[in-house]
Amino acid sequence: MATASEMLAARATAGARYEAALEELYAAYVDLAGLELALANDRVARFHSALPVRSFLVENGGIPNRLKHPVYPSTVPDQPWQDAVAAAAATKLAAFSGS
């Protein structure tokens, strides 16, 4: 990478990777936290002995400011992630069969 054009092209590639990584981080966070919230529910907890099931601290924000980039914004919603976690847990609990 010797020229400014090559560096700009590499930056665009890295920016696209960064956007995709934030989206994957959000999806994995919501999925994992939603599963843990569902597993902590009394209806489900009596069927397993995994302790502790909650590994994340509750946060009321969206994407942390230090992860936001002015040129490569993410499509991840900038609203409390806990809203999506609660919805994911509710979906998992609604599908819970009892064993």
Whether residue 87 is contained in a domain is answered as: yes
Whether residue 77 is contained in a domain is answered as: yes
Q: Which residues constitute the domain of residue 28? A: 4-94
Closest CA to 26 of 63, 1, 66: 63
**Predicted pLDDT of residue 65:** 75
**Predicted pLDDT of residue 87:** 93
Whether residue 99 is contained in a domain is answered as: no
Cα separation, 20 vs 16, in Å, equals 6
Q: What is the pLDDT of residues 26-53, one digit of tens each?
A: 999 899 889 988 988 888 888 888 776 6
Domain count, the chain: 1
Q: What is the pLDDT of residues 56-89, one digit of tens each?
A: 765 666 777 777 888 887 788 877 788 888 999 9
Whether residue 37 is contained in a domain is answered as: yes
Token duo for residue 70: 């002015």
**Predicted pLDDT of residue 8:** 95
Q: What is the pLDDT of residues 2-21, one digit of tens each?
A: 899 999 999 999 999 999 99
Whether residue 25 is contained in a domain is answered as: yes
**Predicted pLDDT of residue 58:** 58
**Predicted pLDDT of residue 91:** 95
**Predicted pLDDT of residue 1:** 66
Whether residue 78 is contained in a domain is answered as: yes
Positive or negative, the CA dihedral 53, 54, 56, 61 is positive
Cα separation, 11 vs 13, in Å, equals 5
Whether residue 80 is contained in a domain is answered as: yes
